[in-house]
Amino acid sequence: MSTIEQEIKKRRTFGIIAHPDAGKTTLTEKLLLFGGAISTAGAVKSNKIDTATKSDWMEIEKQRGISVATSVMGFEYQGMKINLLDTPGHQDFAEDTYRTLTAVDSVVMVIDCVKGVEQQTEKLMEVCRMRNTPVICFINKLDREGRDPYDLLDEIEDKLAINVRPLTWPIGMGKTFKGVYNLFSKNLLLFKPSKQQLSAEGVEVKDLSDSILEEYTGDTLANQLREDVELIEGVYPEFDKTEYLNGQVAPVFFGSAVNSFGVKEMLDTFINIAPEPKGRETEEQAVEPTDKDFSGFVFKIHANMDPKHRNRIAFVRICSGKFERGNSYLNVRHEKKFRFSNATAFMAQDKETIDEAFPGDIVGLYDTGNLKIGDTLSQNNIGLFKGIPSFSPEIFREVINKDAMKTKQLDKGLNQLMDEGVAQLFTFEMGARKVVGVVGNLQFEVIQHRLKNEYGASCTFSPMNLYKACWISSKDKKKLDEFVKSKYRHIAKDKDGKLVFMAETKAWLQMVQDNFPDIEFHFTSEY
Ligand code: GDP
């Protein structure tokens, strides 16, 4: 096996997603503790607050207690190199999450056992389904009086439209919660709860009929567990790894992240079943991780992390070959080679300079403005990687410049923030009015704040009566030209110069669609 093949076999790159407050940050921290990447809880700051990079816009998040950014954490566990990508849970920043999901090979979804499947969980699942991303569910907070485990499983199947297969089962719940039985490896590890450290003390039960179980859990819970296990093994078909890898069945784990219960069981199984780095497709060809030549794509850009240094970091997911620092790689969009002498890997809490990286890895490249979200970097021209769409936004406001002396700064700031994917900018053909489209209102505040603090530009936003921005195309160029001409007042261009139809109401859009059957209307920019 070549070095690259060995490195690929070792890697697992996954995203962790949840409705806010389900316990994503807590679970992340426990995974890092088990991986030995940190030694005490509390070391991982939620990406809600980040003291090391406390630029002003972080202050916004802090006040609101939401996470805006996505962070990457690498750690090792049982000889595997695991890359964990955290995502913002807040729905106003959903696009950031969607893009991050293009960079992972599988997903762990955290669900609160008291609240069950929440709104954001459903939306995130839809995105996973679009790509058949394998999903593992972690049902959290079993130390609380939550819903009945069987009900929760039914709800997941129902609301998330995926089959489930429990691989652990809770022993008790709330005050009586003792731990979980591992249905996958058929053993039981009883821990002492601990919020700070991982307790090494525990007892292993290999055989459920062993009376040692009673000693630890009491008669009622021991009997209940035996009954439950029998029932589950009878009702659910045996776990099928291939079905999981195809996104058809989600293995389910129960636990309490804050008490470190059920986390190791999930991690050990994850190592066993989660997919290796997968290939990706470009507009021109399929790219396999084992392909000799390096390739990767930019799924996130983080600018001005440190207000003193105007640098940006582009997050690149490596798809094939070996990345080597100092080499020049082709930016397929520019058709130009760039040299990347400053590359970082993301470890549990730090960034560190790296010399090489392999498929599945995420590298951070310092960039002065040449890279955009969706860009492909490669040794040779392989076309652009597919699958990084912009979604049609739902809320629109016109940008009003408040300081004519700072027009340049405003334009520059807007362009850079759009490159980062903070929102989408549409410029009307008529009058060059600039309109920002977002998924959630909070994005406007972030934009306004950052324009002021990072670029010295002032703007306000004026509400617009728009229903949707749809990208338009047609097989018949003449028909498209005619359409653009007849709807001139409603035509804009996105930041890449693609034509967009700005529809004012749903009914009107429907009417226009009916009247112009040769025009295709798209709700993502990828078509
Ligand atoms: P996130 O928004 O999904 O990242 O959620 P956090 O990890 O910040 O957790 C939200 C809240 O739930 C915090 O107050 C955590 O301490 C709490 N929490 C996390 N895991 C558990 C758990 O297993 N049991 C209980 N009772 N609370 C938990």
SS (H, E, C) 487-507: CHHHEEECCCCCEEEEECCHH
pLDDT reported for residue 341 = 78
- Read off the tokens for 260: 């470190």
Pocket flag, ligand 1, residue 30 (CB < 6 Å): no
pLDDT reported for residue 25 = 87
* Ligand 1 mutation pick, 258, 260, 261, 263, max ligand atoms within 8 A of CB: 258
Among 518, 507, 444, which Cα is nearest to 478's?
518
Pocket flag, ligand 1, residue 143 (CB < 6 Å): yes
Pocket flag, ligand 1, residue 113 (CB < 6 Å): no
Check if the beta carbon of residue 375 is closer than 8 Å to that of residue 331: yes
Check if the beta carbon of residue 391 is closer than 8 Å to that of residue 95: yes
ipTM: 0.99
pLDDT tens string, the chain, 527 residues long: the values are 788 999 999 999 999 999 989 999 899 989 988 887 766 655 554 444 333 333 344 555 444 444 445 578 888 999 999 999 988 766 667 777 888 899 999 999 999 999 999 988 888 888 888 889 999 999 999 999 999 999 999 999 999 999 999 999 999 999 888 889 999 888 887 766 665 555 555 667 788 888 888 888 889 999 999 999 999 999 999 999 999 999 999 999 999 999 888 999 999 999 999 999 999 999 999 999 999 999 999 998 876 655 555 677 889 999 999 999 889 999 998 899 988 877 777 765 566 778 899 999 999 888 877 888 889 999 999 999 987 777 778 899 999 999 989 999 999 999 888 888 888 999 998 888 999 998 778 788 888 988 998 889 999 999 998 999 999 999 999 999 999 999 999 999 998 899 999 999 999 999 999 999 999 999 887 66
pLDDT reported for residue 83 = 93
Taking the CB of residue 106, how many other CB atoms lie within 10 A of it? 22
pLDDT reported for residue 46 = 47
Residue of minimum CA distance from atom 25 in ligand 1: 141
pLDDT reported for residue 53 = 36
pLDDT reported for residue 67 = 46
Residue of minimum CA distance from atom 9 in ligand 1: 23
Q: Write the Ramachandran bin of 98: left for phi over 0, alpha for psi from -120 to 50, otherwise beta.
A: alpha
* The CATH number of domain 3-273 is 3.90.550.10: no
Pocket flag, ligand 1, residue 260 (CB < 6 Å): no
Pocket flag, ligand 1, residue 144 (CB < 6 Å): yes
Check if the beta carbon of residue 524 is closer than 8 Å to that of residue 389: yes
Please report the DSSP string for 367-402 in residue order.
ESS---TT-EEESS---PBP--PPBPPSEEEEEEES
**Fold exhibited by the domain 280-378:** Rossmann fold (3.40.50)
Among 524, 59, 54, which Cα is nearest to 305's?
54
pLDDT reported for residue 309 = 59
Domain spanning 395-522: CATH superfamily: Peptide chain release factor 3, domain III (3.30.70.3280)
Question: Where does CATH 3.30.70.3280 sit in the chain?
Answer: 395-522
Helix locations, 69-165, DSSP H: 94-101, 119-130, 149-160
Ligand 1 centroid to residue 150 C-alpha, Å: 22
Ligand 1 centroid to residue 64 C-alpha, Å: 17
Ligand 1 centroid to residue 446 C-alpha, Å: 26
Pocket flag, ligand 1, residue 25 (CB < 6 Å): yes
Residue of minimum CA distance from atom 11 in ligand 1: 21
DSSP 3-state of 101: helix
User: For the chain, give me the number of helices (H) and strands (E)?
Assistant: 14, 31
Question: Where does CATH 3.40.50.300 sit in the chain?
Answer: 3-273, 280-378
**Atom number, ligand 1, closest to the C-alpha of residue 255:** 23
Largest CA distance in the chain: 81
